[in-house]
Structure 1
Amino acid sequence: MGRDETETCITVPTFFKCPISLDVMRSPVSLCTGVTYDRPSIQRWLDGGNSTCPATMQILKSKDLVPNLTLQRLIKAWSDSVGSSAAGSPDPASAREIPTSEEVNESLTRLSLEKDEEIRLEILSRIVRFVKDTEANREFLSGKKDLVPMLVDIFVSAAKIKLVLLAIKILDTVIEKGNEGDRERLSNLMLTNGGDCLTAILLAIQRGDLESKIESVRVLEVISSVDTKSKIIIAERDGILTELIKSIDTESDPNLIEASLSFLITISKSKRVRSKLIAAKTITKIRDILLTEETTSVAVTEKSLKLLEILSSKREGRSEICCGGGCVEGVVKKLLKVSTAATEHAVTILWCLCHVFREDKTVEETVERSNGVTKLLVVIQSSCSPMVRQMAKDLIKVLKVKSSASALAAYETKTTHIMPF
């Protein structure tokens, strides 16, 4: 979320900002400690059963709120002055200001102590605006070692789904800047609390808007990428695989499909998880994507074929592909039609079915009937990797092409193949 040139030039006096929300105060009121707050923010604090001043933590002798009329007049004069010089921004007091690094440091300190969820919402909203604003801000926040534990605490303790969604948004933004150690630390924190964090993420996927769903899936992928144990824990958490497989429906948003496929590819590196994905009819969803007549993004097609390639390494996966009613046709259909990566995944799947295992001879007929032989001949002369071109040659020989002996002789080989899984 960027700021235009006019907003960048506006500097808000610090004492015009509420110590709780860090926004310009609309209705400044003072406590008996002498500290002034915006009325809605301090009222929520007091209604939450608190009896201290948030800024000083002094016990309040009185909870009376005294309007600070002098400060209110100063804010009004400043607001009018800025509004008259900033076209299209007549009420900067209502604008959502981007906090400074110093203010974010203060917000993080308060977040670690704060228990009131309404105030936590305000603090997290400010941090989200900060981290979405610039690359430098994301770098700054990713370096805060105490940030992830605080966000994980919100996953565990928050009663409001809005808090979880904001925490996920921040995590998704900053974790990509972290190193492998940061990701391992996040995974350990989120997977060693009895499943509360996974429950919170699942709720975010089920109840959040599209952006929140995508962010939640990306966070899941990060914490599952650490080791095999993390993949199994996440895959065996009730509801997660069901929701993610549901997300790769052809009616879903392409960005959500891509994020979900990327996550499923990551966890499918565990053999145990592959069996769960096959049993959950993931291959049927992939078949629908490959056969759709509507335009599918290159990334979605590549990831669909890559996941199918991984699942074809198991016997039950190959059986599902062969008996899936159109899955093989969908693979052949994508040969040479999408990208080099998609073609290489498609050739590997066919090579696995027709050359390595050959458990269902009807697959060969399907490939021939779908004009697969002609496409494979082109693959041999394409820019695909040498390994994939050799696979195409092997396939042509298996498919018993009715061509001249000299043509077949060109495909003779004594190469020893290694399964690409």
Structure 2
Amino acid sequence: MISSWRRTGMTARRTRVSSIKVDAAAEVSVPTHFRCPISLDLMKDPVTMSSGITYDRESIEAWMEAGNRTCPVSTAVLRSVDPVPNHAIRKMIQEWCVENRTFGVERIPTPRIPVSQLDAREMVARVASAVEGKDWGLCKEMAAEVRRVIKESERNRRCVRSSGAGAVLAKASEELSRTGGFEENSGALEEILSTITAILPLDCDAQSSLGSTDSLRALSWLMRNGNVSARRNSVLAIREVVLGNKQRVLALSATEGVASALLKLIKEPICPLSTKSSLVVIYYMVTLDHPLREKVVSEFSNAGLVCLLLEALVDADRSVCEKALGVLDGMCDVEDGWKSLISHPLASPLLVKKLLRVSDLATEFAVSALWKLGRVCDKNGWFLGELVELGAFQKLLVLLQVGCGDTTKEKATELLKSLNVRRETMSECIDGHDFKVLKRPR
């Protein structure tokens, strides 16, 4: 294992020049003992292991996290896996950087001491104490301190997560929401939520607290009234707690103002992650197996969600396409949903266009939506005729030839039979680009 790792991790780097190039005319050599034996780069945070050999902290911790308990250089079993900061080497490296600043070498900053497991547990305990005393001002300060520590390094983030910070912070959110005073203490709630999203994913206990009715009500309020950061963090938190949990999706669907808040995040996007998270949450809501689903779909339809999604589909990336098509497919099961879709002039062209072009999942959603619309909207034959003109028949035929899932195959076959009746009287428009990426069936 050691030899294999050294081949992939160290030998691959031997092609590097043992110098720092600062401009086209000058180079400065880096002393060998200033380089990490693993990365061969200048050490920024030198630490010494029990074997007596010094490494850069990031490199040796990555080695240890891979399950190794030996020294990469000497192969000796390490008596202790705790790295000890080598202040002497670090100061020598900093002095060397200063001496060579005329060559463009920047002085490495003095690294912060990583948080220990004990320190992390103490911080989490102080947060829990503030929550118990309902001291939301202190809770805000402690949440900010936890987030500052998390942002310093990935190691700190993992250490804080393993100390149960997620469950304690989620409980803080629930308790603050339960008091009914989250509007007056919105600053504390925003800080807590910002810290929670920095340590995702959450464990089951944390998800349970954050997904409670009180918490969802507060998160919905923040999505509508919070600043940009709060709105983003709210939808990320909601996505985390509703994934695969019907009861929380039901509670969210029954929460006032959720639909308008999610719609706003799509209409006025903050970042790609918040947009995708919004679509995932909406998908779970419009596919909910519950009588409330019809009300939810009607609310989204009346608010203009179908129009927004169709406009987004024109030039959306793969991930957004899949999620948007999934939402549209789910809405086709409810009358208000399919009526909104069928009345939009871009609906049929875009659904047909996305067949075979984006991904297998996108194709499955597009076929399902077309199949549902074909069954409910073709009393006079105009819809299926339009699909024939758009080239849907040929694309579905190719889909069956290249292969697809059983459910998609059944829907495509049924749709093909209906389209075939109208082919004799309709002309077809085929875009050859749709078939360029297809693989020949074996």
Percent identity, aligned pairs only, is 17
Query: For residue 222 of structure 2, what is the aligned residue in structure 1?
Result: 203
d(CA) in 1 for partners of 2:163 and 2:42? 24
* CA gap 1:376/1:200 in 2 versus in 1, 3 angstroms: closer
Mapped partners of 1:86, 1:201: distance in 2: 51
Q: CA separation in 1, counterparts of 2:298 and 2:282?
A: 11
Measure how far apart 1:149 and its partner are: 1.9
Q: Structure 1 pair 307/293, CA: closer, same or farther in 2 (3 Å)? A: closer
Q: Does residue 126 in structure 1 map to residue 168 in structure 2? A: no
* Runs of 5+ unmatched residues, structure 1: 11-79, 404-421
TM-superposition CA deviations, 1:367-403 (whole Å, max 9, x none) = 1232222221221212321331232222121012547
Partner of 1:406: none
2:330 — aligned with what?
A: 310
- Alignment of 1:336 with 2:347, yes or no, is no
Which of 356, 369, 372 does residue 352 from structure 1 map onto? 372
In structure 1, the partner of 2:82 is: none
Amino acid at match of 1:169: S
Separation of aligned partners in 1, 2:144 and 2:362: 40
Taking a change above 3 Å as real, the CA distance of residues 236 and 388 of structure 1, as seen in their structure-2 partners, is same
d(CA) in 2 for partners of 1:250, 1:109: 39
- Partners of 1:361 and 1:246 in 2: how far apart? 36
SS in 2 for 1:295: coil
Mapped contact 2:269–2:275 kept (Cα < 8 A): no
Matched, 1:243 2:266: no
Amino acid at match of 1:378: V
Equivalence for 1:152: 174
C-alpha RMSD over aligned residues: 3.8
For each residue in 1:332-383, what CA deviation from the matched residue of structure 2 results, as whole angstroms up to 9, or x when unmatched?
Answer: 1211111111011100111112147745643212212322222212212123
Which residue, 281, 290, 297 being the options, matches 1:263? 281
CA contact 2:393–2:416 (8 Å) conserved in 1 = yes
The equivalent of 1:140 in structure 2 is 162
Q: In structure 1, which of residues 109, 115, 122 is the aligned counterpart of residue 125 of structure 2?
A: 109
Q: 1:183 aligns with which of 193, 197, 207?
A: 207
Q: 2:250 aligns to what?
A: 232
Question: Offset at 1:214?
Answer: 3.1
8 Å Cα contact 2:166-2:202 kept in structure 1: no
Corresponding position: 1:100 with 2:107: no
The corresponding residue for 2:197 is: 172
Higher relative contact order (CA 8 A, sep 6+): 1
Q: Does 1:364 align with 2:384?
A: yes
**Cα 1:85–1:149, aligned 2, differ >3 Å: closer, same or farther?**
farther
Deviation at 1:139, TM superposition (A): 4.4
- State the Cα distance separating 1:274 from its structure 2 match: 4.2
Q: What TM-score comes out, normalization by structure 2 length? A: 0.62
Amino acid at match of 1:176: P
What is the rounded CA distance, in whole Å, between the counterparts of 1:254 and 1:182 in structure 2? 25
Distance in 2 between residues matched to 1:368 and 1:207, nearest whole Å: 47
Match of 2:287, SS state, is: coil
| Distance (whole Å) between structure 2 residues aligned to residue 116 and residue 96 of structure 1 | 29
The amino acid across from 2:250 in the alignment is I
What are the Cα deviations for residues 95-141 of structure 1, in whole angstroms up to 9, with x where unaligned? 98753322222122222333665543332122123445326336414
Asked whether the equivalents of residues 150 and 160 of structure 2 are also in contact (C-alpha less than 8 Å), the reply is yes
Contact 1:265 1:307 in 2 (8 A): yes
User: Take 1:150 and 1:82, find their aligned partners in 2: how far apart are those partners?
Assistant: 44
Number of matched pairs: 324
Q: Deviations over 1:169-194 (max 9, x none)?
A: 33334452424x6533542xx31xxx
**In the alignment, is the contact (CA less than 8 A) between 1:231 and 1:273 conserved in 2?**
no
- Partner deviation per Cα, 1:299-329 (whole Å, 9 max, x = no partner): 1110111111111112222222212332222
Q: Structure 1, residues 215-259: CA drift from partner, whole Å, max 9, x if none?
A: 311221333447544333322322221010122227664322211
- Equivalent pair of 2:310/2:346 in contact (CA under 8 Å): no
Q: What residue number does 1:65 align with?
A: none
Distance 1:7 1:341 in 2: 45
Secondary structure, aligned partner of 1:99: coil
CA distance in 1, matches of 2:196, 2:344: 39
In structure 1, C-alpha distance between the alignment counterparts of 2:170 and 2:42, rounded to whole Å:
33
TM-score normalised over the length of structure 1: 0.64
Gapped regions of structure 2 (runs ≥ 5): 1-40, 48-90, 99-105, 425-442
